[in-house]
Copies of this chain bind each other. A is one copy, B any other.
Amino acid sequence: MGIRNRQWLLASRPRGPVEESNFRLVETEVPALRDGELLVRVHYLSLDPYMRGRMDDAKSYAASQALGEVMIGGTVGEVVESRNPRWPVSELVVGTGGWQELHVSDGKGIMKVARGLPESVYLGAVGMPGVTAWYGLLQIGKPKAGETVVVSAASGAVGSVVGQLAKLRGCRAVGIAGGPAKCAHVVNDLGFDACVDYKAEAFREGFKAAVPDGIDVLFENVGGAVFDASLARMNAFGRIALCGLIAGYGGQDISLRNVRSILVNRLLVQGFIVSEHMELWPEALKELGAHVAAGKIKYRETVAQGLESAPRAFIGLLRGENLGKQLVKVAG
């Protein structure tokens, strides 16, 4: 008798907002390992906005996920069985294990991580979201000391690192977030110079006051009206790293009105996906790990308990209910 596993499958594609019924929890048996394979017990599952795109039929970053397959997702966990000498039992590894308790790997696409920092940080500030922030801000935004950097979804796993990296580079860091609690966290805990609440009535005035010298670098995660508000304040030769359009992930209209700003201000806009720049991950992870260890990059986590909570937590993430990195604690 084999080892039991629990998995969340994509049961149906969302029509509009994601619903719990789009997922199906199944129990399966882990197949016997073949030579070169290893079995990882997932400790933490990462929930990220990009997953929404994979649920659609439409063309997303990558091929859309097939119905009936285990939901894609980043994981950190421990090797519990191995037929691969490079990956001994009890090694801590980060990979794309998916929404399940156990996953079999052939050693490709996984990475050993040290036990010095809390495990979950490898799914956040010292993982894919952190590298996303690092790449978009530094490789596309190229901020210079004294410049103003704006990031939307500033309290999220990516946005929180963007602003802190900008501060470490001598920039003015301004966040955009939804609600006073997130904004207070961004300023008081993360050390941004300012954070404006896009849900507030006085958003436009508050935003204007927060960027008195305009915006030199924009790290855009949201799209739509929030993106437009930033476009209206861009300085000449500004750079925009387009990382996400979460405002449109439910099929909402995210038309952009201020296109003229791109022309008039000679802006650079660059869409990107961090997994296409693996050659820079070691450099990025080294810097991020050092900053986190030194307490110079802080992070907050929202942790849902148990694999069964994943769909509910994911829906909450898409609604902006989490603060900081959204995780699911699966085991460990």
Seen from chain A, the residues whose Cβ lies within 8 Å of a Cβ on chain B are: 53, 59-61, 223, 227, 242-245, 248, 253-257, 259-260, 262-273, 276
> How close is A57's CB to chain B, nearest CB, in angstroms?
14
Cα–Cα distance between A142 and B72 once the two chains are bound (Å): 35
Contact B268 A61 (CB under 8 A): no
Neighbouring B residues of A59 by C-beta, 8 Å: 264
Contact of A272 among B266, B271, B276 (CB under 8 A): B266
**Cross-interface CB contact of A255 among B61, B242, B257, B265, cutoff 8 Å:** B257
Out of B223, B243, B273, name the residue touching A259 (CB < 8 Å).
Answer: B223
Q: A268-B270, A269-B269 are in contact. Are A244 and B259 (CB under 8 A)?
A: no
- 15 new A-B contacts, CB < 8 A, other than A255-B255, A266-B271, are A59-B264, A60-B264, A242-B263, A244-B263, A245-B260, A245-B263, A248-B259, A254-B260, A255-B257, A265-B271, A267-B270, A267-B271, A268-B268, A268-B270, A269-B269
Residues of B within 8 A of A248 (CB): 259-260
Give Cα A263–Cα B253 distance, bound, in whole angstroms.
Answer: 15
Contact A259–B276 (Cβ < 8 Å): no
| Shortest Cβ gap from A120 to chain B (Å) | 27
Q: How far is the CB of A258 from chain B (nearest CB, A)?
A: 9
> Does A264 lie within 8 Å of B223, measured CB to CB?
no
How far does the alpha carbon of A271 sit from the alpha carbon of B276 in the complex, in Å?
25
Complex Cα distance, B253 from A122, in Å, reads 45
Instruction: For the complex, give the distance between the alpha carbons of A264 and B62 in Å.
Output: 9
Closest to A220 in B: B263
Task: State in angstroms the CA–CA spacing of A59 and B223 once bound together.
Answer: 24
- Between A and B, 24 residue pairs with Cβ closer than 8 Å are A59-B264, A60-B264, A61-B264, A227-B259, A242-B262, A244-B263, A245-B260, A245-B263, A248-B259, A254-B260, A255-B256, A255-B257, A255-B259, A256-B259, A262-B269, A263-B271, A265-B271, A266-B271, A266-B272, A267-B269, A267-B270, A268-B270, A269-B269, A269-B270
